[in-house]
Structure 1
Amino acid sequence: MTGGADGEAADAGTTDSGRHVRSFLGAYVLGALAPEEDRRVADHLARCGPCGAAYLEVAEAPSLLALVDEEDLR
């Protein structure tokens, strides 16, 4: 979550569990976050029901993307 808390403007509403991480879920499920960012998202997901639900909506994206080949994109 490069850029720190200020970079979270889209999902910056605070709750008991801190700043929401929904804007980082795509990178999280693709394994594209730095280790520290990855831990922060995982910790948040363990405590935040709304973000956890949003994660479940995108968690299967890498598996689905693996089913697409170059011919499907034409």
Structure 2
Amino acid sequence: MTADPGDTPHVRQLLGAYVLDALEADESGTVARHLQQCGACAAAYVEIMDAASLLALINVDDLLE
């Protein structure tokens, strides 16, 4: 279910920090609630989460090649 943009602010600018657990508790709660209501932001969250997971697989030698 996609929320009306007027109901809750979009939180895309916070998603990277949310994935990395780098938000204050109040911001994290705001993002979590928004993701339950906004399909577009939830889809962006999944993409960012996937990217972060892939980055964890890279090691220093991969970067030097």
Query: In angstroms, what is the RMSD of aligned CA positions?
Result: 1.6
Structure with bigger RCO (C-alpha 8 Å, 6+ apart): 2
- What residue in structure 2 maps to residue 55 of structure 1? 45
* Higher-strand-fraction structure: 1
- What residue in structure 2 maps to residue 4 of structure 1? none
Aligned length: 61
Q: Shift of the alpha carbon at 1:64?
A: 1.2
TM-score (norm 2): 0.79
How does 1:1-74 map onto structure 2 within 5 Å? 15-74=5-64
Within 2, Cα distance between the matches of 1:62 and 1:56?
10
Structure 2 unaligned regions, length at least 5: none
In 2, are the aligned partners of 1:46 and 1:52 still within 8 Å (CA)? yes
Within 2, Cα distance between the matches of 1:63 and 1:57?
10
Within 1, Cα distance between the matches of 2:51 and 2:17?
11
Structure 1 runs of 4+ with >6 Å offset: none
